[in-house]
Chains A and B, each alone.
Chain A
């Protein structure tokens, strides 16, 4: 077993089945403290499911999953909630509460959990908003924000309780180049300044590889490759290389499995 002290998240033989579908088939992960680790893979490989497993929202079918030394699936609800206070999660949609302003959204976890007086909550919220560059937007409602701004507000909310780790669910999807650049910079900076451990789930290879210290590539419920971004680009697995380089054809064929093309064109069936 690997060095538990260095790993914030450690999965062994993690298996998750949904109905008759096996999403994960005995995967092992070691996510080191203080590092940015990326979980990558094609759409539909259950990357988001992995974050939900780490956050304890769903339970694995088999295997263990330790976060900061605690086995998440075995925790009581109370302990799980205590653990979650030390985890931040950035959802793909931002998941801002639509009936609260930007300020109140960031203040939400503080007001729920910290019990701090309102003046201190205010200072903290302004600091967090300043960190993501949106102090000026504090009075806006979530519906008035662009997608990139909403994600930054959600990020400010995720770091409101000074967590030990942040999970990013597809942080770059659907962002324009400028927002993308801002998010890339923020994720890296926050990781360093706040001493966080970051987990990024993404299929945007270039952006993720630029900030990740370590990458796991998942496919069909298995870990098909892991290493630093550089190592993965040099990977011996053709599949991993195809994924990292975004080649249209390779081990993952361009064509969905089908009957012989010529035969189907010439056949009269169904016409």
Chain B
């Protein structure tokens, strides 16, 4: 009996939280138009959410690209198709690895920082202090952070992919001696803007929105104690990472499904 009771209460709690998260998202979206007059707030957040995540994205992109170059070469060379290395690297990055790995890193770097920041603001009464000053914290604090996340993520994913292609080039052409002309020209002729690059951009926008949504909601909904904030931060990274991977499957199936 107790098992069913627990199952029921957990299910209820889950849907209650989901409901709160959706109401919260709606409030955040309603706070968006006001940002037009407060561009400075947005720019500050694009800096702390996007620019500060740049280092990890650049380094990770470079290494992922280099590994792709190496592994791709060893497979392709057996079929004498090492000239297609550029295509392989570029397509894997632009379609999948760019948005997904950048999304995972974004969840770990920017998502956790957002949750911790907002959770601590809640724990130190800064959010209710703001409310008592007749300033809506959702508009003043949450909305600029959310929009900054949605804007930054596609840019970060694009930088990741670009650096990854460079990494693949370094490994393939520089290290393993793939023909440089073939590397670039095959890439240019095989990567399609609408099919490949657009789908990557759409993915990264969706990931950016979902990761940032989870991060700001976890912070806003955190139990206002140090323990509560640390739990919320962990939950952000876990949930956001799983959301990125799950949504990636869903989006891939939708966009490349009509084979």
**Distance to closest chain B CB from A185 (angstroms):** 24
Interface residues of A in 66-91 (CB under 8 A from B): 81-82, 84-85, 87-89, 91
B195, CB-defined interface residue at 8 Å? no
Report Cα–Cα, A92/B131, bound state, in Å: 15
- From A57, A88, A93, A96, give the contact of B131 (CB < 8 A): A57
**Distance to closest chain B CB from A83 (angstroms):** 8
Instruction: Name which of B62-70, B96-104, B120-128 contacts chain A.
Output: B120-128
- From A85, A87, A93, give the contact of B125 (CB < 8 A): A93
Q: Give per-residue flags for A176-206: 1 if the beta carbon is below 8 A from chain B beta carbons, else 0.
A: 0000000000000000000000000000000
Residue of A nearest to B129 (CB): A95
Instruction: Name which of A24-32, A106-114, A127-135, A213-221 contacts chain B.
Output: A106-114
Q: Which A residues are in CB contact (< 8 Å) with B125?
A: 91-93, 95
Is there an interface contact between B134 and A95, defined as CB atoms closer than 8 Å?
Answer: no
Is there an interface contact between A84 and B124, defined as CB atoms closer than 8 Å?
Answer: no
A148, CB-defined interface residue at 8 Å? no
B132, CB-defined interface residue at 8 Å? yes
Interface residues on B, range: 10 to 19
A97, CB-defined interface residue at 8 Å? yes
Is there an interface contact between A95 and B135, defined as CB atoms closer than 8 Å?
Answer: no
Listed residue (B121, B128, B133) with the most chain A CB atoms within 10 angstroms of its CB: B133
**Distance to closest chain A CB from B144 (angstroms):** 13
Is there an interface contact between B124 and A87, defined as CB atoms closer than 8 Å?
Answer: no
Contacts A92-B125, A93-B125 hold; do A57 and B132 have CB atoms under 8 A apart? yes
Q: Which A residues are in CB contact (< 8 Å) with B124?
A: 93, 95, 98
A55, CB-defined interface residue at 8 Å? yes
**Distance to closest chain A CB from B167 (angstroms):** 36
Residue of A nearest to B140 (CB): A112
Report Cα–Cα, A52/B129, bound state, in Å: 11
Q: Which 6 A-B pairs have the closest CB atoms?
A: A95-B129, A95-B125, A84-B134, A81-B134, A89-B132, A91-B125
Q: Interface residues, chain A, CB within 8 Å of chain B?
A: 52, 55, 57, 81-82, 84-85, 87-89, 91-93, 95-98, 108-109, 112-113, 157
| Beyond known contacts A52-B128, A97-B130: 17 more, CB 8 A cutoff | A55-B131, A84-B132, A84-B134, A87-B132, A88-B132, A89-B129, A91-B129, A92-B125, A93-B125, A97-B129, A98-B121, A98-B124, A108-B133, A109-B133, A109-B134, A112-B135, A157-B133
A-B contact pairs, 25 of them (CB 8 A): A57-B128, A57-B131, A81-B134, A81-B136, A84-B133, A85-B133, A85-B134, A88-B132, A91-B125, A91-B129, A93-B125, A95-B125, A95-B126, A95-B128, A95-B129, A97-B126, A97-B130, A108-B135, A109-B133, A109-B134, A112-B134, A112-B135, A112-B140, A113-B135, A157-B133
